[in-house]
Amino acid sequence: MQKEISSVARIRFSDCDPIGHLNNVKYLEYMLNAREDHVEEGYGFTYEEYTRKTGCTWITIQNEIAYLKEVRYNAKVIISSKTIEVGDRLSKVEILMKSEDGKTIHSILWLSVIYFNMKTRRSENHPEDTKELFKRFLVDLEEKDFKSRVAYFRKQNKKADHS
């Protein structure tokens, strides 16, 4: 079973600033759209289907993003995502935007979400079957906080620049 799911995207001209770099807010759009596709492909459901079936969904409560290396118009990028934390109510996902060859990390996003009941408008515990599904995809990172993870990728990018 593949715990980190990846897809390829092409950076569009309309998503770039006047000097041809991907606009900062557009990183989020590309990354979140890829994650939605990854959940369907890897976990076997869409958010819409899950909400219709259970009455619950996940609400983003925090985004932590670092822009490590600019992405230019028309570039192909690999966007990967993985679950890095599963709790009773809270889950965390890491989404990376990498160069087409996978050697350079352009951006890293940590997305914290809570499990949310649409009817009661309150957070609640994940059902056991959902929690178990997510735990099967759980990736244990060596770096336990965002700042350390960003520093790790900055070092990796420097090594890639010099090779």
Once rounded to an integer, what is the mean pLDDT over residues 124-132? 95
d(CA 46, CA 58): 12
Helix ranges (H only) for 13-145 are 24-38, 47-54, 128-136
Q: Which of 137, 139, 138, 140 is nearest to 1 (CA)?
A: 137
> What phi and psi, each to the nearest 5 degrees, are found at residue 131?
-60, -40
Q: Which helix (H) or strand (E) holds 154?
A: helix 146-161
| pLDDT at residue 32 tops 80 | yes
Hey, what CATH topology would domain 5-161 get? Thiol Ester Dehydrase; Chain A (3.10.129)
- Residue 109, pLDDT > 90, answer yes
Least confident residue range of 25-34, 99-108, 110-119, 154-163:
154-163
Q: pTM for the complete prediction?
A: 0.95
Q: Is the pLDDT of residue 163 over 80?
A: no
* pLDDT class of 41 with cuts at 50, 70, 90: very high
Domain boundaries, the chain: 5-161
The H-or-E segment that residue 148 falls in is: helix 146-161
